[in-house]
Amino acid sequence: MSAQIAIIGTGTIGASWATHYLARGFDVVATDPAPGAEAALRSYVDAAWDAASTLGVVPGASRDRLRFTADLREAVADAVFVQENAPERPQLKVKLLAEIDDAAPVESIIASSSSAITMSVMQAECRRPERTVIGHPFNPPHVIPLVEVVGGERTAPETIERAMVFYASIGKKPVRLRKELPGHVANRLQAALYREVVHLIDQGVLGVADADDAVSWGPGLRWGVMGPSLLWHLGGGEGGIQHFMDTLMGPMAAMWPALGNPQVTPELEHKIVEGVVAEANGRSIDDLAAERDAMLIALEGVRARYQP
């Protein structure tokens, strides 16, 4: 029998993870207590299959290898890897992880997609907390490679190593955090930039669409292919990063105290909502998501050609 993945919670993130694991040739057993969850999951997988396949479907992979059960214990009984994606509520996650831990094979890894709850909190009632780890994806996980991997106080270093190797083996780009912290890393980075975007809108420097353009047609394009520190190596010209440090780091650091820290009032929220609706210009969220995913998949294809 081939390796089995358990998907716990099949909402936005769980359904996307299920698609990714199926495309990578696993048997997937999913569970979710919501009425209609199985039908919603199957229709998500059908809709996302082409995108997931473009990014790397393996021989033998099939949507037919998805099984759904309402019984959590049955879902994890034969899993080699459990990916938990239930709602972001600490008490729920603590109980759920304890139950998964109780029912999953002892050698399996239990990974949580949680965006902001640390594993030290979630593993509190597990009998084998050493095999629990955060595997935080970036939405949607069947398209975006990043997974942040970080343990809790009682996670074994080998579990983190195994999770890193496992995610890399299924086409993900795992990044290991050496310490756990609220919001992990990627969401903190988004929050840092978005604070300034909101400040600029609040101050009337830019409208919503112009602020989006200023990110996505400039720095965002570059960040899609290289990270900021490596880019500064290029920004430093012939002298590279050292020249950047000698000449450009000072002026940039001098800007930090003047960056915005906006108060999010109802008026400001309204301004952003109105701006986004105007920017969407009648395109539905599904249309926009399809447009985003098609471009991301093309970009990942380009990256794979240059950085195999």
Ligand X SMILES: NC(=O)c1ccc[n+]([C@@H]2O[C@H](COP(=O)([O-])OP(=O)(O)OC[C@H]3O[C@@H](n4cnc5c(N)ncnc54)[C@H](O)[C@@H]3O)[C@@H](O)[C@H]2O)c1
Site of interaction with ligand X (CB under 6 A): 8-14, 32-34, 37, 85-88, 92, 96, 113-115, 136-137, 139
User: What's the CA angle centered on 33, arms 30 and 34, to 5 degrees?
Assistant: 105
Q: How far is the CB of 140 from ligand X (least distance, A)?
A: 8
Q: How far is the CB of 108 from ligand X (least distance, A)?
A: 17
Q: How far is the CB of 120 from ligand X (least distance, A)?
A: 15
Q: How far is the CB of 41 from ligand X (least distance, A)?
A: 9
Give Cα separations from 3 to 17, 25, 148, 170 (angstroms): 15, 9, 23, 13
Angle of helix 208-216 relative to helix 266-280, nearest 10 degrees, comes to 70
When CB distances to ligand X are compared, the closest residue is 11
Of 92 and 103, the one with the shorter C-beta distance to ligand X is 92
Q: CA 34 to CA 39: how far, in whole Å?
A: 11
Of 43 and 62, the one with the shorter C-beta distance to ligand X is 43
Contact call for residues 183 and 156 (beta carbons, < 8 A): no
Q: In which residue are the tokens 């809108």 written?
A: 201
Q: How far is the CB of 263 from ligand X (least distance, A)?
A: 25
* Residue 83, strand partner residues: 7, 111
